[in-house]
Amino acid sequence: MPTRLEILDYVSLKEVRHLTYPAVWRVVTSRFASTVRGVAARTTDVTAGLALAVPGPSGQFELLSVYVLPMLRGMGFGSSMLDAIEGEFRRLGFRLGIHFLRVGEHNQDAACFFVKNGWTRPVVNKLVCHTTVPLAFETPWLVEARLPARYRIVGWRSIGADQRTMIRDFDEAGVNDDVNPFIYEEDSDPHTSLALVDADGGTVRGWAITHRLDTSTLRWTCSFIHPSLQAMALVRPLWLEVTRRQRAFPELVNIMFTVPVTEPRMARFALRRMRPWLSGLAYACITMKRVA
């Protein structure tokens, strides 16, 4: 099957953007239109696949995606495109490629592909958990959660300036970038992004920030309970309220959330207590390759 590889810029990539994920293409369009590079593998009949990468700092580039049409996999197109995109960024003066990938619980094909092509063995940094609203309401420890009378749950966007200032003044190591609400509140879902507040003084004691990924999927992007209250398991009634509000939108049936492996207590909870009611589990990983 005759094949040719073509280096593409943003304008040329538009005609083959269906060969990457919509979310990846949105990132390219909004941030990297002038610097993105792609490699398309073409046969006499069809564009068989596409690899996309963008420049980063300190001589690094990020490989965003490598995709081959299902009926043409196992024929070397992926490896050829990967080699070509590495060569293009090497020519541009970059030394290290980085790729963030998702590896399935029972399918490690993606990891094997990169290792076979000289990339490092993927290192897990997050658990990627999938479930549904019906499954959530079958989860005993969730549906049995109760909120103590001294607390109430309100919409995240309803909290005032003074409450936001108190959050910014939290002197807690637990409020890192993974759970910082101000990093994630932009474009958050207004109906299901919530705050846990003290009913007396209105002090914010926790939050859950969510985003709609598509018409059927809500990502629970980050959630947090003040460390002094974590022993009370207040995150459970907070999650239950998110689920109740999500249920008000029947088409929004899927739930996705991630758990950093740097939070071992939460990772253990996900694998032991959440796993029976998950519809899917995968691992978010990073792999690298020195190209020069």
Q: 102 in a domain, yes or no?
A: no
Does 246 share its domain with 172?
A: yes
Question: Does residue 260 sit in the same domain as residue 187?
Answer: yes
Over range 259-280, report the average pLDDT: 90
Mean pLDDT of the chain: 93
Using alpha carbons only, what angle is made at residue 123 by residues 172 and 41, rounded to the nearest 5 degrees?
Answer: 125
Q: Are residues 84 and 143 in the same domain?
A: no
Residue 252 and residue 179 in one domain? yes
On whether residue 242 sits in a domain, the answer given is: yes
No. of helices (H) and no. of strands (E), the chain: 10, 12
Of 28-37, 44-53, 84-93, 165-174, the range with the lowest mean pLDDT is 165-174
- Alpha-carbon distance 106 to 194, whole Å? 34
Res. 198: pLDDT tops 70: yes
Among 240, 168, 171, 231, residue whose Cα is nearest residue 208? 240
pLDDT tens, position by position, 28-79:
999 999 999 999 999 988 999 999 999 999 999 999 999 999 999 999 999 9
Domain of 234 in residue numbering reads as: 129-284
Q: Tokens at residue 281, please?
A: 């589990």
Which of 84, 114, 100, 131 minimizes the C-alpha distance to 23?
100
Both 242 and 150 in one domain: the answer is yes
Q: Give the number of other CB atoms < 10 A from CB of residue 76.
A: 13
Q: Is residue 252 part of a domain?
A: yes
| One domain for residues 145 and 259 | yes
Q: Report how many domains make up the chain.
A: 2
Position 104 in a domain: no
Measured distance CA(10)–CA(28) in Å, rounded: 8
Q: What's 50's domain CATH number?
A: 3.40.630.30
Tens digit of pLDDT for each residue in 208-250?
999 999 999 999 999 999 888 878 889 999 999 999 999 999 9
What is the average pLDDT across 65-94? 96
Q: What torsion, rounded to 10 degrees, do the Cα atoms 79, 84, 87, 93 define?
A: -120
Q: Percent of the chain, pLDDT > 70?
A: 97
